[in-house]
A and B are shown apart, each in its own frame.
Chain A
């Protein structure tokens, strides 16, 4: 490999790390609260870190430890975790036109979270093909390590932090809805989408507020999708 190629690869890594840096503001607070919550749910610090390392999917990790702590059957815990992560099915096909046949891409898909997808979908088309793998690797690794590092922080010193500042335990989990607000806001592009997304938000909120958090997500998502297709077909019929 020529010095020029190595230099370009290095630049791409750095560029990926730089572009992914804003993700830390969202990842670390949520990961700290995950470490804390996993501890409170009866998981050891190392177990919480391993869950973040291998599952690496924010909301579903909260659901996983919450359901285990509440004594739900393990098969249901796995099914619900995978159901929440099913949205990831749509990400890789959207990036495929900009990925070459390099086998590393398959392993890098472990880091294809909501935020990394959003970032990659914007940046990859603008990069030369030779820099895409390096860019994605840098961005993905920074996001992954920040998530695992934040979990470790929450799991190891989270109790001390909350012991000294009890309000922190109450405040940190708000990073999760705040993150979803930021991810969802750009999707309100039409009345059709606003109705579907609004329906899903309200239904999930009502289910969760009435003590049915596990049913909230699949039921609300299905109803939101139903609203989308019903309204879309009505609009077409009127035209």
Chain B
């Protein structure tokens, strides 16, 4: 990896850490100032909206299958539905992801076997 690429990695790493850390410092100072122990201080509304819509955008972008075939799209749709169903049943993180990946794989595998 070239020198400038290392710099890019380190800047991205430092920036990510600061984005996780600085808001904590800010909020702790704000809480101390307000002397509101145990309460949840109000966040700017736009910040609370931007978080979930960013994750939604990541989901949309990640849904496009690398293969780009009809079978890959069908596998994505079926895998996504199974992920959602298993989440609905279990309300957990691990099992829905594992189930979705397995079903996606089965649909893709069937395509290889049939064709």
The range of chain A's interface size is 35 or more
Q: A165-206: which residues lie under 8 A (CB-CB) from chain B? A: 167, 170-185, 187, 193, 196-198, 200-206
| 8 A-B pairs closest in CB distance | A25-B94, A204-B60, A224-B53, A92-B24, A178-B100, A220-B57, A200-B56, A180-B59
B105, A93: Cβ atoms closer than 8 Å: no
Q: A26-B94, A93-B27, A196-B49 are in contact. Are A55 and B9 (CB under 8 A)?
A: yes
B56, A201: Cβ atoms closer than 8 Å: yes
Contact with B along A25-69 (1 / 0, CB 8 A): 110010000000000000110010011001111011000100010
15 A–B pairs (Cβ distance < 8 Å), ordered by A: A24-B94, A54-B13, A55-B13, A96-B24, A174-B105, A175-B101, A180-B55, A197-B52, A197-B53, A203-B60, A205-B64, A208-B60, A216-B57, A219-B57, A225-B50
Complex CA distance for A204 and B27, rounded to whole angstroms: 32
Q: Is A213 located at the chain interface by the 8 A CB criterion?
A: yes
B98, A25: Cβ atoms closer than 8 Å: yes
Contact with A along B1-43 (1 / 0, CB 8 A): 1001101111111011101110111111001000001111101
Q: What would 8 more interface pairs be, CB under 8 Å, given A91-B20, A220-B53, A221-B54?
A: A57-B16, A60-B16, A175-B100, A181-B84, A203-B57, A205-B60, A208-B62, A213-B64
B27, A174: Cβ atoms closer than 8 Å: no
Complex CA distance for A54 and B21, rounded to whole angstroms: 14
A90, B96: Cβ atoms closer than 8 Å: no
Chief secondary structure at chain A's binding surface? helix
Give the chain B neighbours of A184 by CB distance below 8 A. 52, 55-56, 59
B108, A170: Cβ atoms closer than 8 Å: yes
Give the chain B neighbours of A82 by CB distance below 8 A. 12, 15-16, 19
Contact with B along A133-177 (1 / 0, CB 8 A): 000000000000000000000000000000000010011111111
B55, A97: Cβ atoms closer than 8 Å: no
Residues on A facing B (Cβ under 8 Å): 21-26, 29, 43-44, 47, 50-51, 54-57, 59-60, 64, 68, 74, 77-78, 81-82, 84-97, 99, 101, 105-106, 109-110, 112, 114-115, 167, 170-185, 187, 193, 196-198, 200-209, 213, 216-221, 224-225, 228-229
Q: How far is the CB of A56 from chain B (nearest CB, A)?
A: 7
Residues on B facing A (Cβ under 8 Å): 1, 4-5, 7-13, 15-17, 19-21, 23-28, 31, 37-41, 43, 46-67, 72, 75-76, 79-80, 83-84, 87-88, 92-98, 100-101, 104-105, 108-109, 112
Give the chain B neighbours of A64 by CB distance below 8 A. 9, 12
Q: A97-B31, A181-B80 are in contact. Are A81 and B12 (CB under 8 A)?
A: yes
